[in-house]
């Protein structure tokens, strides 16, 4: 048996095992983004600008909505995205602000998946 070849194969198996879950996660987020719709309601679109100014965060954040998720989430370091629930259109303004502020803080901290 060639031990150098066996060692290389074991190392490659470990790399594959380590990189597969994050790669699947990125693919899942990409599919989620493609299936989500961009928020167009002015009540939601005005809010991120105000909150971003208060946070001192000067990057653009995409605001998306999707029905297939049960919890708001944020992802993306270079191009942050915030996903809200379809039911969020029925939320009172205070709740909208708190939820969006929470998600924007994740984006500000450059947390890739939150």
How many structural domains compose the chain?
A: 2
**In the prediction, which pLDDT does 19 show?**
97
**Is pLDDT of 24 > 70?**
yes
Do 97 and 60 lie in one domain? The reply is: yes
38-52, 81-95, 100-114, range with greatest mean pLDDT? 81-95
Do 8 and 49 lie in one domain? The reply is: no
Do 4 and 26 lie in one domain? The reply is: yes
* C-alpha radius of gyration, the chain, whole number: 19
Q: Which residue has the tokens 């719709």?
A: 37
Do 17 and 62 lie in one domain? The reply is: no
- Boundaries of domain holding 3: 1-35
* DSSP tag of 89: G
Q: Which residue has the tokens 């890739």?
A: 112
Q: Which residue has the tokens 């983004």?
A: 33
**Is pLDDT of 114 > 70?**
no
102: tokens are: 């929470």
Closest CA to 56 of 3, 2, 109, 10: 109
């Amino acid at each position: 048996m060639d031990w150098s070849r066996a060692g290389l194969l074991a190392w490659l198996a470990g790399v594959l095992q380590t990189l597969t879950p994050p790669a699947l996660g990125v693919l899942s987020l990409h599919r989620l983004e493609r299936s989500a719709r961009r928020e167009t309601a002015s009540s939601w679109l005005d809010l991120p600008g105000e909150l971003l100014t208060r946070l001192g965060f000067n990057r653009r954040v995409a605001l998306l909505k999707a029905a297939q998720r049960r919890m708001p989430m944020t992802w993306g370091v270079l191009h942050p995205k915030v996903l809200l629930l379809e039911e969020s259109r029925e939320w009172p303004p205070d709740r909208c602000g708190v939820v969006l502020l929470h998600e924007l803080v994740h984006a500000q901290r450059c947390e890739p998946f939150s």
